[in-house]
Amino acid sequence: MAEKYQFPNGFEWGTASASYQIEGAWDADGKGECIWDRFSHTPGHIHDGTTGDRACDFYHRYEDDIRLAKKLGIKVYRFSISWPRIFPDGTGAVNEAGIAFYRKVLTCLHDNGIKAGVTMYHWDLPQKLQDRGGWANREIVGWFETYAKTLYERLGDLVDYWITLNEPYCTSIIGYWIGEHAPGYHDYSMALSAVHHLLLAHGAAVKAYRKTGLKADIGITLNMNISYPYNPDCPEDVAAAKRNQEHSNNLFGDPIFLGKYPEELFSYLKKRGVVLPDIQTGDMELISQKVDFFGLNTYFTDHVKADETAWPLGTASGKTGRPQTDMGWEVNPEGMYDLLKWIHSRYNPPKVIITENGAATNDWVNVEGKVDDPNRIDYLYRYLAQVHKAIQEGVPVQGYYVWCFCDNFEWAKGLSKRFGIVYVDYDTQKRTPKESAYWYAELIKNNGY
């Protein structure tokens, strides 16, 4: 591939991050406990036994990080707000120190000429709300709406993009069914009720936003993947791949953009004994509020086999022998193109922002003090070529944010997986831009590569 990839004028190059993964200062200045504090403090949950207590110490080092982002030419810096920093109990009294912290971060971004992309919920639910059922309790729709309105009112003058939720699939399915993420439950029907409440909370937040008069765009970030049948000649695999994709993609995209849940999937699940969500009058209208953009997180593709013994979905994943990143995720750049085309044809959103894409690789600082990460550069090169192709064919992608700015706490994998374009030494907190950061800076400068 010795091509030239030139991106449209005004294309927005960014990086992404999330509060629990970078901030540290887990109990500073009145912050309440979040479910990831509780989860990581409980032995056995995090593979390498680390926690986000300190992480990248962004809480104290945000100025340096933002200055470095500016040096690299980053146009949009995506980060999330920690709900329990704003409402230590989830509801009730506002913690002014939390508001002050995020106003400082936002001001610093603006002073450095960087746009702010703000995720309202990137998984760090106040523990006090989990104690009341968390996302499985329908009351959370109101709790989230109050939280969202508070953010609009107190921070809205400084925000360029609002993202209501990050990856409701992970919150619900991984948190309440697979149990690998906080709160660590294993109840599929509860997970589906969480799906419905997440979507309602998203809709309520968008609806409330439209009444504020604020002008910034608002959308949601969904993680999606294309599911390919493991054996395309096997009808059972073809059906299983379709079901798998409806579960990862349509379960969230259809209600938001088409105002309905995927029927075939729901009737399959019902037959398998799953309790479906309680959909009340007006719910689908609330969920399908018009959004300004579709935020897409994507990293890999799925290759799906039929497996009747796997409850409830009847699917299993198959490996294809393609290269893998340090997460064990298959590198399949064409999947990015197929997915962008699929989103465009099924949902036709006004704009797509790729709010996350990137690779974990096994990085370290070499004897010359550099971090050489050719595989990450290669990954970005190949995936961006596919983004470019989709744009050429009319998919309105207006921005791309690398996951992530600096190495950070990778959830159940702890500090052991490095996704950053900036290396973090967790003992000294020293930052070292990796070779990929310089590659990305050059790309931004040229708006192409």
Residues noted as catalytic: 167, 356
For the CB of residue 173, give the shortest distance to ligand GCO in the complex, in Å: 12
C-alpha to C-alpha distance for 442 and 427, rounded to whole angstroms:
30
Distance of CA 195 to the CA centre of its chain: 15
For the CB of residue 416, give the shortest distance to ligand GCO in the complex, in Å: 12
83 counts as binding ligand GCO under rule CB under 6 A: no
18 counts as binding ligand GCO under rule CB under 6 A: yes
C-alpha to C-alpha distance for 327 and 358, rounded to whole angstroms:
11
Closest by CA to 413, choosing from 52, 82, 119, is 52
C-alpha to C-alpha distance for 397 and 341, rounded to whole angstroms:
11
For ligand GCO, give the closer residue by CB, 18 or 256: 18
C-alpha to C-alpha distance for 290 and 59, rounded to whole angstroms:
34
Query: x/- contact string, 199-238, with ligand GCO (CB under 6 A)?
Result: ------------------------x---------------
C-alpha to C-alpha distance for 417 and 406, rounded to whole angstroms:
11
36 counts as binding ligand GCO under rule CB under 6 A: no
DSSP characters over 20-36: HHH---TTGGGPPPBHH
For ligand GCO, give the closer residue by CB, 268 or 419: 419
Which residues lie across from 34 on neighbouring strands? 126
Query: What is the identity of the amino acid at 292?
Result: D
For ligand GCO, give the closer residue by CB, 12 or 356: 356
C-alpha to C-alpha distance for 214 and 209, rounded to whole angstroms:
7
- Sequence-distant (6+) residues with CB within 8 A of 95 are 29, 30, 31, 32, 85, 86, 87, 88
C-alpha to C-alpha distance for 291 and 305, rounded to whole angstroms:
34
Q: In this chain, which stretch among 66-74, 152-160, 165-173, 334-342 interacts with ligand GCO, using CB under 6 A?
A: 165-173
Query: x/- contact string, 252-281, with ligand GCO (CB under 6 A)?
Result: ------------------------------
C-alpha to C-alpha distance for 361 and 277, rounded to whole angstroms:
39
Answer for which of 12, 37, 124, 356 binds ligand GCO (CB under 6 A) is: 356
For ligand GCO, give the closer residue by CB, 403 or 423: 403
For ligand GCO, give the closer residue by CB, 21 or 432: 21
Which letter does DSSP use for residue 426 in this model? T
Q: Which of residues 400-429 bind ligand GCO (CB under 6 A)?
A: 403, 410, 419
For ligand GCO, give the closer residue by CB, 373 or 410: 410
Q: In this chain, which stretch among 86-94, 163-171, 248-256, 429-437 interacts with ligand GCO, using CB under 6 A?
A: 163-171
Structure tokens at 93: 């009294």
Q: Return the SS3 of 227.
A: strand
For the CB of residue 298, give the shortest distance to ligand GCO in the complex, in Å: 9
For the CB of residue 418, give the shortest distance to ligand GCO in the complex, in Å: 11
Answer for which of 19, 171, 227, 297 binds ligand GCO (CB under 6 A) is: 297
For the CB of residue 45, give the shortest distance to ligand GCO in the complex, in Å: 16
Q: In this chain, which stretch among 34-42, 150-158, 166-174, 390-398 interacts with ligand GCO, using CB under 6 A?
A: 166-174
Which letter does DSSP use for residue 307 in this model? -
Query: x/- contact string, 359-398, with ligand GCO (CB under 6 A)?
Result: ----------------------------------------
For ligand GCO, give the closer residue by CB, 160 or 326: 326
Closest by CA to 32, choosing from 141, 135, 119, 131, is 131
Q: In this chain, which stretch among 32-40, 137-145, 164-172, 392-400 interacts with ligand GCO, using CB under 6 A?
A: 164-172
For the CA atoms of the chain, what is the radius of gyration?
21
C-alpha to C-alpha distance for 52 and 278, rounded to whole angstroms:
35
SS (H, E, C) 60-75: HHHHHHHHHHHHHCCC
Give the pairing of strands 227-229 and 302-306: parallel
Answer for which of 170, 205, 218, 390 binds ligand GCO (CB under 6 A) is: 170
C-alpha to C-alpha distance for 312 and 435, rounded to whole angstroms:
44
For the CB of residue 404, give the shortest distance to ligand GCO in the complex, in Å: 7
Phi, psi for residue 37 in degrees, rounded to 5? -60, -50
Under rule CB under 6 A, how many of the chain's residues touch ligand GCO?
Answer: 11
For the CB of residue 248, give the shortest distance to ligand GCO in the complex, in Å: 12
Closest by CA to 360, choosing from 403, 399, 393, is 403
For ligand GCO, give the closer residue by CB, 230 or 401: 401
For the CB of residue 360, give the shortest distance to ligand GCO in the complex, in Å: 7
For the CB of residue 357, give the shortest distance to ligand GCO in the complex, in Å: 9
What residues make contact with ligand GCO under the rule CB under 6 A?
18, 21, 166-167, 170, 223, 297, 356, 403, 410, 419
